[in-house]
């Protein structure tokens, strides 16, 4: 099963994707984690990525598409993937569709966690405080930029998947377990007895 998770920064995509990974056996591919790993590598690419990410901007399509394609070809992705943070633009979605079609695969569900923007800042601040190791993008100014970028560049991708009948809207304001239950219902996974 191949699933895409959408939602603004701080909506809980990573948490829910991790839970879904355990539940259905698909491999979670978090572009944020992939990018942070690349940043930690100290490579030349890392320097370019750092300036882009610290400014709250999206990484260019060609870099993201290549990164995802490489990850999806790995054996641990044979049972499917949960894409967290990709695609973020219509060109990326089109590239993903072409890539999957070429390998006889498709997207099964597109989940969007809907959260009130006023709640997101407190979530980001809580995440930074709990981790004790704040990410460079866990601050109010960068969050506002990331929300603007999400609204301008990522939210417009939702109609692309809605036209395909794949979009499932999830109330991301609910408690974590309730969000998980909504996701399980949306993808047709029955609760364990």
Q: Which residues form the catalytic set?
A: 13, 88, 127, 135, 146
Q: What is the DSSP string of the chain?
A: --EEEE--TTSSHHHHHHHHHHHH-PEEEEHHHHHHHHHHHT-HHHHHHHHHHHTTPPPPHHHHHHHHHHHHTSGGGTT-EEEES---SHHHHHHHHHHHHHTT----EEEEEE--HHHHHHHHHHHHHHHSS--TT-SHHHHHHHHHHIIIIIGGGHHHHHTTT-EEEEETTS-HHHHHHHHHHHTTPPPP-
């Amino acid at each position: 099963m191949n699933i895409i998770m959408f939602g603004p920064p701080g909506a809980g995509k990573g948490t829910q994707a991790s839970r879904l990974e355990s539940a259905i056996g698909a491999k979670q591919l978090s572009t944020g984690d992939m990018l942070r790993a690349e940043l930690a590598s100290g490579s030349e690419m890392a320097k370019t990525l750092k300036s882009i990410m610290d400014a709250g901007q999206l990484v260019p399509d060609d870099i993201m598409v290549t990164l995802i394609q490489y990850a999806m070809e790995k054996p641990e992705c044979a049972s499917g993937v949960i894409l967290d943070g990709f695609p973020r633009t219509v060109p990326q979605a089109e590239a993903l569709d072409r890539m999957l079609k070429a390998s006889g695969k498709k997207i099964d569900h597109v989940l969007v966690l809907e959260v009130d923007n006023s709640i997101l800042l407190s979530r980001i601040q809580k995440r930074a405080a709990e981790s004790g190791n704040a990410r460079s993008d866990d601050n109010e100014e960068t969050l506002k930029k990331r929300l603007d970028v999400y609204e301008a560049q990522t939210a417009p991708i939702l109609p692309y998947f809605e036209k395909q009948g794949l979009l499932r809207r999830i109330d991301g304001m609910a408690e974590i377990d309730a969000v998980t239950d909504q996701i399980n219902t949306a993808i047709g996974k029955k609760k364990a007895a």
